[in-house]
Amino acid sequence: MQSTSHLLMIRPVNFGYNEETAESNAFQHKDKNQQAVQEKALAEFNNFVEVLRQNGVDITVVDDNPHPYTPDSIFPNNWVSFHADGNVFLYPMQAENRRLERREDIISRLEDHFKVHHIVDLSRYEKENKFLEGTGSMVLDREHKIAYACLSPRTDKTVLDVFCEQSGYTAVCFDAADEHGTAIYHTNVLMCIGSQFAVICMDSIPNPHEKVVVTESLKSTQKEIIEISFEQMNQFAGNMLEVKSKNEDTLIVMSESAFRALNQDQKSSLEKYGKLIYADIQTIENNGGGSTRCMMAEVHLPTTN
């Protein structure tokens, strides 16, 4: 199954602009009043969780710890991914303060309801300065076992190949850049894979051959390709996620800024495949440089009952 009704989300206690990640993340913008950012982000987080729960999504919410300092803990999909075969992958992170987000107690808490068969720890590659930041670096077609990845300082081909070898995925790699020619830090800001659709900023892939490879891969898996512009990508219209409600209804989750950036034809195309759900997380997007998809770690593990 491409999507799940079970999500892990981390409630922030020290959210703010992360100086350690800003160099490679052009989506980050520092609010002048950083003291107010945590309070605003917490309100946005709680509202977003409520919107998801009102639509029937099952969420395990874990509170972040005040120490050590982890300003990006609200984005757990970068350090962990959970798979239907019971495997859990832990990932090497570029920023040192993001490495502190990995918490065994979170995995232990999930084991109350889910079966964990094996933990595959790739964080050892941090010693070699090689990184792969989870489902930020990779956009997974779980049904067809394809990992789409734009290579960047945070997405190393060597570690990607190890992930694919351990998980049975095939990698589709490409380079991607924004309208200014700056490398895009994570694949999940330029594309999203649903069960029957793919949202992608094709203009961000400058190499014509790589663009053809990506297009043909998506077409071969019967995805309707919904293209977005640079401007829409910059409003996080590529950073959405298909999830299920507990009643198996399909939901397509995005931020309010992403929803407002889409035109009516794009919304109509998406609405063929699920209900569009959105929430205002502008403070989180501005300071964190990530959006709704980054906040949701999908739990595909088998359940214990």
Residues 190 and 186: their CA atoms lie apart, in Å, by 8
Q: How much is the pLDDT for 236? A: 95
Query: Two tokens at 276?
Result: 């569009």
Ordered alpha helix ranges (H), the chain = 19-22, 34-54, 96-99, 104-110, 134-137, 157-167, 208-220, 230-234, 256-261, 264-271, 282-288, 292-295
For residue 256, the model assigns a pLDDT of 98
**Phi, psi (deg, nearest 5) at residue 120:** -100, 110
Determine the 3-state secondary structure of 134 from DSSP. Answer: helix
pLDDT, position 18:
53
Greatest Cα-to-Cα distance within the chain, rounded to the nearest angstrom: 51
CA 81, distance to chain mean position in Å, is 10
Supply the pLDDT for residue 97.
87
pLDDT at 28: 47
User: Of 213, 269, 268, 277, which Cα lies nearest the Cα of 249?
Assistant: 277
Q: Which pair of tokens denotes residue 170?
A: 């095939």
> What is the pLDDT at residue 93?
96
β-pair partners for 263: none
**In residues, how long is the chain?**
305
pLDDT at 23 (0 to 100): 59
Q: How far is CA 93 from CA 8, 123, 150, 213, 222, in A?
A: 19, 7, 16, 28, 33
pLDDT along the chain (305 residues), means of 10: 97 71 56 74 96 98 92 94 98 93 96 96 98 98 98 96 98 96 93 98 98 98 98 96 97 98 98 98 88 97 91
Report the Cα–Cα distance between both ends of the chain, in Å, rounded: 19
At 30 the pLDDT is 66
- Report which of 189, 233, 217, 152 is spatially closest to residue 77, judged by C-alpha positions: 189
Residue 223, token pair as written in the block: 């995805």
Q: What is the CA angle 19-22-25, rounded to 5?
A: 160
